[in-house]
Structure 1
Amino acid sequence: MPADVVDPSSEDADRRTRLLAGAAVTIGALSGVVNPLAERFADAGHELYLVGGSVRDAILGRLSSDLDFTTDARPETVQELLRGWADNQWDTGIAFGTVSAAKDGQQVEITTYRADAYDRVSRNPEVIYGSSLHDDLARRDFTVNAMAVRVGEHSELVDPFNGVDDLLAGVLDTPQTPQESFADDPLRMLRAARFVAQLGFAPADRVRAAMTDMAGEITRITAERVRVELDKLLLGEHPAEGLDLLVETGLADHVLPELPAMRLEIDEHHQHKDVYAHSLTVLQQAIDLEQADPDHESPDLVLRWAALLHDIGKPATRKHEGGGGVSFHHHEVVGAKMTRKRLRALRHSNQMVNDVAQLVFLHLRFHGYGRGEWTDSAVRRYVTDAGPLLTRLHKLVRADSTTRNKRRAAMLQATYDDLERRIARIAEEEDLARVRPDLDGNAIMELLGVPAGPVVGRAWSFLKELRLERGPLPREEAEQALLTWAREQGVLGSD
């Protein structure tokens, strides 16, 4: 072979060697915690292997502090072996053969070899303990998760389904046929999309085909399980790719039908942005803004859901206008309602539902700002309506600019810069974080001579609206305004 020609297989071999060497170093760094545990199992005549995602992540150089192990020892034996080693242990997963423990800040889960049987009606297996590491690995979801490393003095990699090769190639494949794997547990189809989003991998052709053919099987899975996978997908580094896989295979039709519904037809007479593609772009731009924020600590699930769903109401409100235009009047109102319905169906918390829906509802408000025509009152209302979501709303609105017209894009960003400067200026003069009436409930009752009740609530609302409209008022002016309102409402008689 000529000296200037690189053998691709040689490059792959070198990369494989580097990755495995790196994994050995990563796992070796845990020897102070893991080796004494491995010795306990070996002395008792049992095997202990680091397994699954822990091995995958070690090879990728991203091992977390939570380690998964598998063993031929039964759970009660595992509990005995952990005594004297673990700082504490618990058995919440013991029905599935899993015992958990913590040692020096490291959490471990040790699961007995499994050879489960599935009824293929639910996703809940009949737990059957196995005696073979090979059989245990064969029942796992993907080959990149079907590897094990013997821990202890003589470590070795066990990779019967070529998981390392698939890891190097960035491919998701199954140890069994994907039809068998997904029939056993349809949730694995969502996990495939989640791993695409987290790892940037691509599904093998046979996996994609099986997901498409078996998409309807996902209805066997509970909403709570679906929610967990969708949340993890959105929190990944490549969520758009994972969402694309859900849409292309038809899985989204069952778990997030509003997403494929956003793929609106575009023809030569009604040119407009494809809402689906636009939403994925906004999601990515929101992530970019999130990661550029110096106060950013972790992926923002609320922002990411809001970015994905911000235009969810467009298909229902689309109207073809004269001259080839298209309008989506009040799509933010419809979208907020649809967002609430979908997130509730996924069993999200009330806080999550309210926060995401409010961002969807508010995302268009800025477009009424024009070139700065808002009054200070309108700025106060914008801040008050956003409340603690204001920082997220800033990111969402900025991310929602996907125009290819550089001049227009720059103008929109400059205009929002102006709005943020106005918010900062008014915030310096007033407590925008807590816009409250100039009189509290006790002062209202004393001034009007009324007991606690509906009248006080109405008076409080009036004063808050006045505060938003005019800013902070001297107490005397606020009292006079309240008295005038009370007379007009018949709460006070005329003098």
Structure 2
Amino acid sequence: MDFEISPVAMGLGELFEAHGFELALVGGPVRDLLLQRPAHDLDFCTSARPEEFEPLLKKWGDGFWDMGRKFGTLGVLKRMPDGREYSVEITTYRSDVYEPDSRKPEVSYGDSLEGDLSRRDFTVNAMAIRVPSLEFVDPFDGRRDLERKILRTPVSPEQSFDDDPLRMMRAVRFVAQLGFRIGLDTAEALYDMAERIEIVSAERVRDELCKLLLSEHPREGLEALVDSGLSDYIFPEFPALELEIDEHHRHKDVYEHTLQVLDRAIALETDDEGPVPGPDLTLRLAAIMHDIGKPKTRKFEDNGKVTFMHHDVVGAKMTRKRMKALHFDHTMIADVSDLVEMHLRFHGYVDERWSDAAVRRYVKDSGHLYHRLNRLTRADATTQNKAKEQMFARAMDDLEERVIELKKKEDFEAIRPDVNGDQIMEILGLQPGPYVGKAYKHMLDFRLDNGPVEYDVAVEELKRWWKQQDK
């Protein structure tokens, strides 16, 4: 079998062979090679122990790292004469096994390439190419599964998922990333063992969820996450969107709507030159979170109408809680929950065109999330009524055009009250304290409502407000 192997892989193979060690390209790079996908991150496994091949890498590469040393992995950066850079990681033949209650795998070294491949997650990742001989090694028929676009485990799925429960998350991630389906036996084991995902650290689960969302087919990945039962343990708010009508019927209006919003939001992402370059994790997280407050706020009115009052505010709180549980960073949590809380903000504009003051306030309040918020809002308009859809789109177009015109006159990001905190204290004879903050907020609101005014006008408004306070 002929392979177009990178000179980096061949050179490294020759180096290891010269020192009596086996080396093979494994996993994702082999899979991607067969799929004719580019790969600049190369993974290898070897018969050598880290202490044996470390000096070889340090001499051969252009940069070295050993963060994975405890797992038998060392890494190196290799720069080629044509300017291309390759990230290379090499791991001693190994076996990863979870103890029943452990959150991290225990690592033990193996003694053969075939044994190493048997411990990998799926057959499509359990293929190897020995270098420099270019022998193709496929003991579990991974190439056939690759052609069929199916995910199977090299050993029994029960053993595989018991050894490393994170493989269950990787299964649904590969559905999103590669557009594959999960084999029947593997899917059944995944469903039966889904609860075991709870022993995996939140950070590892979060990373797989993010990779899923940033993949080419995130909708399919999310559907697999729900169908497998994994979502019940890591993101229960999502399957909860399949709202029950009564004991005999179910509908998926909110669930299906949310998946549509995700698709539409992705379509609104821009290229690298635009305001929301895709794939954008913040926007995609907001899309799947924006309605999670609906199940808790659903109410059946006497006239048969269903309402979800304040689901935006409730949903924002639920978003913060879930993202904290998954150990997202504070900035991402704040941005996504703010988008969820503001996602209904624009709707009033469709019925009544806002004043310039209201437009300023919208832009000021949304801040750096302005472009994402507009895209989330557009994506959320999934009505089947074409006339209503067109009216909504025209209203959003109008708002965005007005913002452009207003920004030509003033810098929204730099909007401040016409009197600052020191001036407020001097004018009102105050010492630092809560009244200064309240006065500042009032004057900021006045600035947003009226635009920039002369200093004397601002002082007059400040004094008027102060007289009305219950001091």
2:423 to 443, 446, 451: 443
Structure 1 residues 230 and 387: alpha-carbon distance in aligned structure 2, compared to 1, 3 A threshold? same
Aligned partners of 1:440 and 1:65: how far apart in 2?
A: 53
CA contact (8 A) 2:124 2:146 kept: yes
Could you tell me whether the CA contact under 8 Å between 1:86 and 1:102 is conserved in 2?
yes
Matched letter for residue 65 of structure 2: W
1:253 aligned to 200, 215, 232, which one? 232
Question: Taking structure 1 as reference, are residues 116 and 273 closer, same or farther at Cα in structure 2, changes over 3 Å only?
Answer: closer
The reply to whether residue 396 of structure 1 matches residue 371 of structure 2 is no
Aligned to 1:480: 460
Residue by residue over 1:294-342, the C-alpha shift from the partner in whole angstroms, topping out at 9 and shown as x without a partner, is 5154411110010001000111111112332211111111111111111
Decide whether the 8 Å contact of 1:372 with 1:419 is kept in 2. Answer: no
User: Which residue does 1:7 correspond to in 2?
Assistant: none
Percent identity between the aligned chains? 53
Q: Give the secondary structure class of the aligned counterpart of 2:59.
A: coil
**Equivalent AA in structure 1 for residue 465 of structure 2:** W
The answer as to whether partners of 2:151 and 2:171 remain within 8 angstroms in 1 is: yes
2:223 corresponds to which letter in structure 1?
D
Superposition pairs for residues 32-431 of structure 1, below 5 Å? 33-104=8-79, 105-152=85-132, 154-266=133-245, 274-291=253-270, 295=274, 296-431=276-411
CA deviation after TM superposition for structure 1 residue 61, in Å: 2.6
On the 8 A contact 2:315/2:340 being kept in 1, the answer is: yes
> For residues 169 and 286 of structure 1, what CA distance do their matches in structure 2 show?
30
Distance in 2 (alpha carbons) for counterparts of 1:144 and 1:61: 14
Letter in 1 for 2:424: I
What's the secondary structure of 2:333's corresponding residue?
A: helix
**Matched residues in 1 for 2:370 and 2:411: separation?**
14
How many angstroms does 1:242 deviate by? 1.1
In structure 1, how many angstroms separate the alpha carbons of the residues matched to 2:462 and 2:251? 50
SS at match of 1:122: coil
Q: 1:437 to 1:55 in 2, by over 3 A?
A: same
Following the alignment from structure 1 to structure 2, what is the Cα–Cα distance between the partners of residues 176 and 291? 42
Kindly provide the amino acid, as one letter, of the partner of residue 126 in structure 2: A
Tell me, which stretches of 5 or more residues in structure 2 are unaligned? 80-84
Q: What runs of 5+ residues in structure 1 fail to find an aligned partner?
A: 1-19
Structure 1 residues 134, 299: CA separation in 2 closer, same or farther (over 3 Å shift)? Answer: same
TM-score, reference length from structure 2: 0.94
Corresponding pairs, count:
465
Cα distance in 2 for residues equivalent to 1:92 and 1:240? 33
- Residues 239-287 of structure 1, C-alpha deviations (whole Å, 9 max, x = no match): 11111111112111111000111001357x9998710110011011101
**What is the root-mean-square deviation in Å for CA atoms of aligned residues?**
2.2
Letter in 2 for 1:289: L
The whole-number CA distance in structure 2 between the counterparts of 1:117 and 1:490 is 67
Distance 1:448 1:123, change over 3 A: closer
CA distance in 2, matches of 1:466, 1:478: 8
Secondary structure, aligned partner of 2:368: helix
- Deviation, structure 1 residue 370: 2.8
Is the 1:199–1:238 contact (alpha carbons within 8 Å) kept by the matching residues of 2? yes
In the aligned structure 1, how far is the partner of 2:230 from the partner of 2:110?
32
Distance 1:256 1:473 in 2: 49
On the 8 A contact 1:372/1:418 being kept in 2, the answer is no
Change (3 A) 1:367 1:262: same
CA–CA distance in 2 between the matches of 1:146 and 1:287? Answer: 32
Measured after TM superposition, the shift of residue 452 of structure 1 is: 3.7
Structure 1 residues 252-261 or 219-228, which shifts more? 219-228
Q: Distance in 2 between matches of 1:270 and 1:79?
A: 62
311-320 or 271-280, which deviates more: 271-280
Q: 1:40 to 1:363 in 2, by over 3 A?
A: same
2:82 matched residue in structure 1: none
The whole-number CA distance in structure 2 between the counterparts of 1:332 and 1:63 is 42
Partners of 2:305 and 2:396 lie apart in 1 by: 26
Contact map agreement 2:266 2:278 (CA 8 A) in 1:
no
Quick one: distance in 2 between partners of 1:63 and 1:94?
Answer: 27
Deviation, 1:375, is 1.9
User: Is the 2:104–2:201 contact (alpha carbons within 8 Å) kept by the matching residues of 1?
Assistant: no
Counterpart CA distance in 2 for 1:226 and 1:197 is 15
For each residue in 1:206-249, what CA deviation from the matched residue of structure 2 results, as whole angstroms up to 9, or x when unmatched?
11111111111111112111111111111111111111111112
- When residues 273 and 474 of structure 1 are mapped into structure 2, their CA distance, relative to the original with a 3 A threshold, is farther
Please state how far the C-alpha of 1:116 moved relative to its aligned partner.
4.2
Alpha-carbon distance in 2 for matches of 1:487, 1:323:
47
1:175 CA displacement? 0.2
1:471 to 451, 454, 466: 451
